[in-house]
């Protein structure tokens, strides 16, 4: 029997309650993450990938957000059932760290970076300010900030964008969490810096053996370091599996369309192939497959029932797709 995964999300549903409307941003999300593994969560804007991550990290703003159903099991304990105070003290920062998209906004302009990196460490471990400062320098070294010892008292505005993101990563890793959630960590950076940050995340993860959830809409960034992919659409996972399998042989029409939309250097195209239409409105229930309206292979049965996430490609592969005709899609390529 295989050991239970480090993190398991089961049937997670998150709603946003507005004036007279209820938006179901996450509608039944399942995924697992093992230690030392990188899971990439892919999806377009509004697919619920960030909301799901915030729910796992325990920092959903509620109200307006509301977790309706589901479990987030970390080492067998359901985080959603935990008392908020206990969860803050024992899980957040300690076992789950978070890296944000906009590093400038994620740092407090009024404090030197060293203080911010080690603040959690100092309070949780009860160490002195001098020890915390040493820890901050150590962490800054680890995220490859040159001359860390002389920059520990600098303020966030004195760093470049890439360096700031490194500081945010150092902050998230200060307590050696078991899981690192990186929410679009490279979106605000230019391409060369993106690669550096992604490599750094990969390296830190390999060193520490933590599990990483990498949220992105950039298929290329993900391809560099992810072990497994979960493709989200309209608040659900529509396809998951090892990255080679999903990228090589997509088993869901949405994944297929996403991959087809990526421009390739070796193929000369007259124009970019875009996916027509827009994601469905999340304010009303979707009776069938959420992708049906944009799918080029839609059939009447697609609108009748929600297709479950089921294994494809025979036994032994870890690939799963939420399409009634997954085997057909798989065979198309």
Please tell me the total number of residues recorded for the chain in this structure.
333
| Of 132 and 172, CB closest to other proteins | 172
| Of 84 and 146, CB closest to other proteins | 84
- Contact positions with other proteins (CB under 8 A) in 242-271: none
Containing 11, the helix (H) or strand (E) segment is: strand 7-17
| Of 163 and 245, CB closest to other proteins | 163
| Of 97 and 235, CB closest to other proteins | 97
Q: According to CB under 8 A, which one of 34, 44, 71, 119 is a site residue for other proteins?
A: 119
| Of 97 and 253, CB closest to other proteins | 97
Among residues 18, 43, 4, the alpha carbon closest in space to that of 222 is found at 43
Q: According to CB under 8 A, which one of 36, 46, 59, 80 is a site residue for other proteins?
A: 59
For the record, the structure tokens of 119 come out as: 């603040």
For other proteins (CB under 8 A), the number of binding residues is 35
| Of 85 and 130, CB closest to other proteins | 85
- Contact positions with other proteins (CB under 8 A) in 163-222: 168, 171-172, 175
Question: Does the bond joining 14 to the residue before it have cis omega, within 30 degrees of 0?
Answer: no
Rounded Cα gap, residues 274 and 292, in angstroms: 17
Of 52-60, 196-204, 205-213, 281-289: span binding other proteins (CB under 8 A): 52-60
> How many other C-beta atoms lie within 10 A of the C-beta of residue 3?
7
| Of 33 and 171, CB closest to other proteins | 171
- Residue 213 CB, nearest distance to other proteins (Å)? 13
Does residue 47 contact residue 258 with C-beta atoms inside 8 Å?
Answer: no
Binding mask 127-156 for other proteins (x = CB under 8 A): --------------------------x-x-
Among residues 133, 195, 204, 199, the alpha carbon closest in space to that of 172 is found at 204
- Residue 138 CB, nearest distance to other proteins (Å)? 18
Q: How far is CA 275 from the centre of its chain?
A: 23
For the record, the structure tokens of 60 come out as: 């959903």
- Residue 148 CB, nearest distance to other proteins (Å)? 18
Share in percent of the chain as helix, strand, coil (round to 5): 35, 20, 40
Binding of other proteins by 17 (CB under 8 A): no
Among residues 194, 254, 200, 242, the alpha carbon closest in space to that of 218 is found at 194
Q: According to CB under 8 A, which one of 25, 52, 57, 330 is a site residue for other proteins?
A: 57
Helices (H), the chain: 49-57, 84-90, 113-125, 129-142, 148-151, 161-173, 191-208, 219-225, 243-248, 253-261, 326-332
Among residues 142, 68, 64, 54, the alpha carbon closest in space to that of 98 is found at 54
Rounded Cα gap, residues 82 and 147, in angstroms: 42
| Of 59 and 298, CB closest to other proteins | 59
Of 37-45, 113-121, 190-198, 285-293: span binding other proteins (CB under 8 A): 113-121
| Of 85 and 191, CB closest to other proteins | 85
Binding mask 73-112 for other proteins (x = CB under 8 A): ------------x--xx-xxxx-xxx-xxx--xxxxxxxx
Rounded Cα gap, residues 262 and 258, in angstroms: 7
- Residue 198 CB, nearest distance to other proteins (Å)? 20
Interface residues with other proteins (CB under 8 A) are 57-59, 85, 88-89, 91-94, 96-98, 100-102, 105-112, 116, 119-120, 124, 153, 155, 157, 168, 171-172, 175
């Amino acid at each position: 029997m295989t050991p239970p995964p480090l993190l398991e999300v089961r049937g997670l549903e998150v709603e946003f309650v507005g004036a007279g409307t209820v938006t179901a941003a996450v509608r039944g999300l399942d995924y697992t993450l093992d230690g030392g593994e990188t899971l990439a969560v892919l999806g377009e804007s509004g697919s619920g990938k960030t909301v799901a991550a915030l729910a796992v990290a325990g920092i959903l703003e509620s109200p307006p957000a509301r977790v309706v159903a589901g479990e987030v099991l970390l080492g067998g304990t359901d985080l959603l059932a935990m008392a908020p105070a206990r969860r803050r003290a024992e899980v957040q920062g300690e076992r789950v760290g978070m890296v944000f998209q906009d590093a400038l906004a994620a740092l407090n302009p009024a404090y030197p970076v060293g203080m911010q990196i080690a603040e959690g460490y100092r309070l949780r471990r009860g160490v002195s300010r001098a020890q915390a400062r040493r820890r901050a320098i150590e962490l800054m070294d680890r995220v490859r900030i040159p001359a860390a010892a002389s920059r520990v008292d600098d303020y966030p505005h004195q760093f470049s964008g890439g360096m700031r993101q490194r500081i945010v990563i150092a902050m998230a890793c200060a307590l050696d969490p078991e899981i690192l959630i990186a929410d679009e960590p490279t979106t605000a950076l230019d391409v060369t810096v993106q690669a550096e940050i992604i490599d750094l995340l990969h390296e830190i993860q390999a060193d520490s053996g933590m599990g990483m959830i990498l949220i992105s809409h950039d298929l290329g960034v993900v391809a560099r370091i992810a072990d497994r992919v979960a493709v989200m659409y309209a608040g659900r996972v529509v396809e998951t599996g090892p990255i080679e399998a999903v990228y090589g042989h997509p088993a869901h029409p949405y994944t297929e369309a996403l991959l087809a939309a990526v421009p390739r250097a070796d193929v000369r195209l007259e124009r970019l192939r875009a996916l027509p239409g827009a994601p469905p409105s999340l304010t009303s229930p979707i009776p069938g497959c959420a992708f049906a309206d944009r799918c080029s292979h839609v059939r009447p049965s697609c609108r009748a029932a929600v297709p479950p996430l089921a294994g494809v490609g025979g036994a032994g592969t870890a690939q799963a797709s939420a399409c009634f005709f997954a085997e057909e899609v798989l065979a198309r390529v």
